[in-house]
Structure 1
Amino acid sequence: MRIKFETWALFTAVVREGSFLAAGRALGIDPASLMRRINRLEEDLELQLFSRAEAGLTLTVSGRRLFREVAPLVARMEAALARKGAPGGEGAGSAPGRFGLACSGDVALDLVRDAAARIGARHPAMRWDFRVTWTGDASSARDDTFPAVSMRARTHPARKSRTEIPLGNVRRLCAASPDFLETHAPLLSPADLEELPAALTQEAAGVVAARDRIREVFERNGEYFPVELHRPTLFRQARSAVQAALDGEAVAVGIPEALLRPFFLEGRLVPLLRDWCMRPMVLEADVSARWRSNPVVLEFLEAARTATNEGEVR
């Protein structure tokens, strides 16, 4: 019987973390998928490795014996992979042992979280370090211990000197709750937004004309319509802006469509101005020069590009 190394790595991770949930979070893998992999391992070995109870997992006698034999081998292999994947190390370009991912704001993180989980499932020896920054520029978060990739989602053009790699455009919409619409005049054009309370994210705010005014541009059939929002509330997290709309406090403006879609289906939010297009949000990656040829990084960027263009926000 031949069992893949990644299966043994998953087994030892579950033992170390003490539960499928904790191990899944550490590896960036869906806990249910991880549990299925361990169940399959037990079936292949015809051994029960864990005792399962509400209090958590405990190793059986067979599980403890197997862990003592397997854990040192997995540790040596993971160390070898980490050395090979380290920038400038022997065999650079192989899977890194740790992968640093900094995201400027929660929109960027939501767009790439599933992509990271999929790549992590294929490379279980790799560990993900996530960091969310609110500086407006995720690249400023990079340091010697966090070297690989910085992500950000922006609506306004990048400076020419920037080195980000564009991964795709994210469609943005406006939305409000049915209760809000019952107590306010109908929105027939973007101009109707100007006197309404608006909830935006700092990432999506675009060009700030003044402390109490935000400028947005809508487009339809080649016609451009600039709007100045006079009553904006800026949130650091997109979900906070959505919550303000759900609470009937404001119109959520410039929110990624996929983030709003579940609330549209539930009838808790109503899409507004669907005939008009807003400036899209562009997801960009800034990759450290030392990691640009790493195959796992390249695989992650391609997965993030696919997720962005499919609008996969979780």
Structure 2
Amino acid sequence: MRLPDFEAWAIFATVVEHRSFTAAAKALGLSKATVSKAVSRLETSMGATVFHRTSRRLSLTETGRSLSVRAARILAEAVAAEETARDEASAPKGTVRLAAPMSFGLLHVAPAVADFLALYPEMAIDLHFSDEKIDIIDMGFDIALRIASLPDSSLRVRRLGGVEARIVASPSYLERYGRPSHPSELSEHRCLGYAYIDTPDTWRFLGPGREEVSVRPAGPLRSNSGDAMLPALRAGLGIAILPDFIVHQDIAEGRLEALLPGWSRPPVALHLLTPPGDPRPVRVTLLADFLATRFRAICAG
């Protein structure tokens, strides 16, 4: 078995990228003759020419055009493999761009990031908090944490655990307006809306016997931040649906009450998302594994 001439493939890809034997030789730190010989070896091996050569112009043949895609892939994989090997051979370093929801981020992600950076002092994290469903590829993020029921996508997704939503109101609100006994009654109540749930204009509930109920909420406040809704809830201005990690302390201390036992929202979960493709830099894998271990322990499973 004869091994492929990987050097010739890599040099061919570099010539295609720079559109010049001279420029490719300079980029690679080789002589122009060495570059030319490598391309000639490849042509001999393939039994076809890959370039049209004139004194003024260099252009790909049809064969060269089809082979150039594979050559670029071979070169990219080799460069990535060497980067991974270098990363593994030394202390992890570099910057990872991380996106997370605002409330969950402030409560859980920020402390996790501090602990991670204490373990890996040569690394840096560019941390972005937002409850909007951002396009992590378009915005250049390495990792995103998202609380949602995720549709299929090209992203790599790790489900870390369920996130329970609570239907809550303050004792003062319930004394004034009454306690709903069925989700359908919420249409008669003052409801505080969260702008970034999947269907902010419709609240859906699952109940005993798999009964499904939909309600169109109306009320004096709508916000894109769950934490921003807490003062209005505590002041008795309405009923809201919020994740347990935002309201559990208020429930435990009596400032809010959980309503409609036996009824729940359609399930959502905390997911860790990364762009597709391999291999990933070690620094990204390291942070992703750290966050996954940390948050699996605090999610509802």
TM-score normalised to structure 2 length? 0.61
1:257 aligns with one of 226, 244, 252 = 244
1:130 maps onto 2:124 in alignment: no
Distance verdict in 2 for CA 1:135–1:170, change over 3 Å: closer
Q: Aligned to 1:128, what secondary structure does the other structure show?
A: strand
Distance verdict in 2 for CA 1:185–1:302, change over 3 Å: same
Contact 2:117 2:123 in 1 (8 A): yes
- Would you say how many aligned residue pairs link Structure 1 and Structure 2? 218
Q: Which residues in structure 2 correspond to 1:52-71 (within 5 Å)?
A: none
Q: Aligned partners of 1:218, 1:173: CA distance in 2, in Å?
A: 11
Q: 2:48: which partner in 1? A: none
Equivalent AA in structure 2 for residue 153 of structure 1: I
Contact 1:170 1:308 in 2 (8 A): no
2:230 aligns with one of 236, 239, 242 = 242
Distance verdict in 2 for CA 1:157–1:293, change over 3 Å: closer
Contact 1:149 1:288 in 2 (8 A): yes
Q: 1:286: which partner in 2? A: 273
Contact 1:173 1:271 in 2 (8 A): yes
1:119 aligns with one of 112, 116, 119 = 116
Q: Which residues in structure 2 correspond to 1:165-244 (within 5 Å)?
A: 165-204=158-197, 206-208=198-200, 214-232=201-219, 233-244=221-232
Q: Aligned partners of 2:294, 2:273: CA distance in 1, in Å?
A: 17
Instruction: Please state which structure has a larger fraction of its residues in strand.
Output: 1
1:304 aligns with one of 288, 291, 295 = 291
Structure 2: unaligned runs, 5 residues or longer: 1-79
Distance verdict in 2 for CA 1:198–1:123, change over 3 Å: same
Contact 2:173 2:237 in 1 (8 A): yes
Q: CA deviation at 1:312?
A: 6.5
Structure 1: unaligned runs, 5 residues or longer: 1-84, 209-213
Contact 1:102 1:138 in 2 (8 A): no
Q: CA deviation at 1:89?
A: 6.8
Equivalent AA in structure 1 for residue 100 of structure 2: C
Equivalent AA in structure 1 for residue 245 of structure 2: A
Quote the sequence identity (%): 19
Distance verdict in 2 for CA 1:271–1:281, change over 3 Å: same
Of the two, which has the highest radius of gyration?
A: 2
Contact 1:167 1:284 in 2 (8 A): yes
Q: Aligned to 1:183, what secondary structure does the other structure show?
A: helix
Q: Aligned to 1:158, what secondary structure does the other structure show?
A: coil
TM-score normalised to structure 1 length? 0.59
2:139 aligns with one of 131, 139, 142 = 142
Contact 2:95 2:125 in 1 (8 A): yes
